[in-house]
Amino acid sequence: MAATLKGNAIVAQSGGPTAVINCSLAGVIQESQKHDAIERLLGSKNGIFGVLNDELFDLNQEDAATVEGLKRTPASALGTTRYKLQDDDYERILDCFKRYNVRYFFFNGGNDSMETCHVVGQLAARENYELRCIGVPKTVDNDLAVTDHCPGYGSVARAITIMTMDAGKDNEASYSTDTVKVVETMGRNTGWIAASTGLAHETEEDAPHLVYLPERPFAAQKFLDDVQGCLDSIGRATIVVSEGLVDENGEYITAQSAADSEFYQDAFGHAQLSGVGDAICKLVEGKLNAKARFNKPGTSQRNCIMAQSKTDAEEAYMVGAAAVEAAVGGETDKMVTLVRESNDPYKCVTGLCPTEQVAAAEKKMPDEYINEAGNGVTEAFIDYVRPLVGDLPKYVRLKRVSA
C-alpha cells in the first residue's frame, strides 16, 4: 500500500465527445469526494488546453444535482480539444501541476490522451515530482488496445443501430422511391461503429442488408453486385457504410471536393472525411437502375442520450471512479481497462494496464468479426457487441394475408 499522497487533482476530457463521457466525469468527481487525499478537484477547460493556459475550474463548487445531471448530458461538459501537444508543452503541463500542487491527473480520452498521460508521467518521475497519472478510456471508435471495449462505444452503437432500423423501416415502406438507403456512420479507421448495426439484421427483411467496413478495401463492382442481389431478392437495400471506407489503393471513398480540401486534415494528420454516403449514392444511381439517398447522422449519433446504453453509462461511471481509486491507491502511468469476465450473463469489471500499451496502438476489427464476403458481420461479433448495446426496440411487421 502506497503512502497517502495529499494534494489536488485535475481531470480533463479529450478527443471527440460521447454520450457517456460525462458519466466518467461524474465518476471522477463523486469518487474524489470520498478520498481525503484529494483536497480539491480541478477541471481543465478544453482538454489539455486548460492546463496549458491556466484555465481551471474548481469542481468542488458544482452543485450535487448538476454532477448527477452529467450522467444524462451528452458531450464533454469541461470542453475538449484535438490539439496535438508540442515538445515544450509537457514542461508547461508539469509547471502548472506544481503551481496548483496537483498530485493526481485523470485524463479521459483515446490513445492520443494515453500518450500524453504517459509522457507527463515520465517527465514527473524524471524530475522527482510525485504525480499519479491515470488514463480513463473513452472513444466511440472502440479502437483502444487492451481494454475489452471502450466507454462511449455501446451508446453510439445503440444510436446508430436504432437509426438504421428506422431508416430500414422507411425504406421498406417506400415502394417506387428510395429503394436504396445508405446510412453513413462514424469510424475513421475502424468499422466497430458501422458493424454494430448488424445487430438489427435478424431476418432477411431487416436492415441493414449490407455493411461495409474500413478493414476491407471497398471494391466498387463487388459492391454493386451485392446491391443488385438485394434488389433482386427483396426489392430494396439498406446499406451501412463507415465514413472511413478506402479502395484497394487506400484512397478514401469520398467526394472529390472533400479529398482536395485542406480543411479536411485535422491537427493529427487524420483525414477529416465528408461525403462517402453521397459518393455511394452517386455510384448506385450511376450504375444501377435504382434511386439512392443517404442519412448522415453525424455528431448526433455519438451524443444521443435517447439511445444511451445503460451498460455503457454504468461502465463509463465505473472507469472514472476506478481511476480515482487506483491513483489514491498508489498507481500511476496506467489506464483503467474494462475486463469482460463473462458474456452470458454479461459481467464486466475494471482492470489496469500500462498507458504505453494503449498510446500507440489502434485496435481494428479482427477477421473473425467480419463475414467472408466483407459485407457484414459474424455471430461472434454479435455475441461481443450485444451486451454493450442492450435490448433493441421491437418493431412489428404485418402478416399481410391476401384478401
58, 63, 88, 141: which one is catalytic?
A: 141
- Decide if residue 104 touches its own copies (CB under 8 A): no
Question: Is the CB of 128 or the CB of 402 nearer to its own copies?
Answer: 402
Which residue is listed with cell 478506402?
A: 246
Q: Determine, following the binding rule CB under 8 A, whether residue 57 of this chain makes contact with its own copies.
A: yes
Q: Other C-beta atoms within 10 Å of 182: how many?
A: 28
Backbone φ, ψ for residue 46 (5° rounding): 55, 60
Of 159 and 353, the one with the shorter C-beta distance to its own copies is 159
> φ, ψ for residue 54 (rounded to 5)?
60, 40
The Cα 48–Cα 97 span in angstroms is 12
Residues 303-332 binding its own copies (CB under 8 A) are: 303-307
* Member of 188, 201, 209, 302 binding its own copies (CB under 8 A): 302
CB atoms under 10 Å from CB of 64, counted, come to 10
Q: Within a 10 A sphere around the Cβ of 235, how many other Cβ atoms?
A: 12
Question: What character string, x for contact with its own copies (CB under 8 A) and - otherwise, covers 173-212?
Answer: xxxxxx--x-x-----------------------------
- Binder among 257, 360, 366, 380 for its own copies (CB under 8 A): 257
Distance, CA of 161 to chain centre: 14
| Minimum separation from the CB atom of position 281 to its own copies (A) | 8
81 and 49 Cβ atoms separated by less than 8 Å: yes
Contact, 35 vs 328, CB < 8 A? yes
Nearer to its own copies, 42 or 388 (CB): 42
**73 touches its own copies by CB under 8 A:** yes
In this chain, which stretch among 62-70, 220-228, 241-249, 328-336 interacts with its own copies, using CB under 8 A?
62-70
Indicate which single residue of 33, 122, 228, 300 sits in contact with its own copies (rule: CB under 8 A): 300
141 is known as an active-site residue: yes
How far apart (Å, rounded) are the C-alpha atoms in residues 118 and 98?
A: 17
Calpha distance 174→171 (Å, rounded): 5
* Residue 222 or 296 having the CB closest to its own copies: 296
**Catalytic residue annotation:** 141
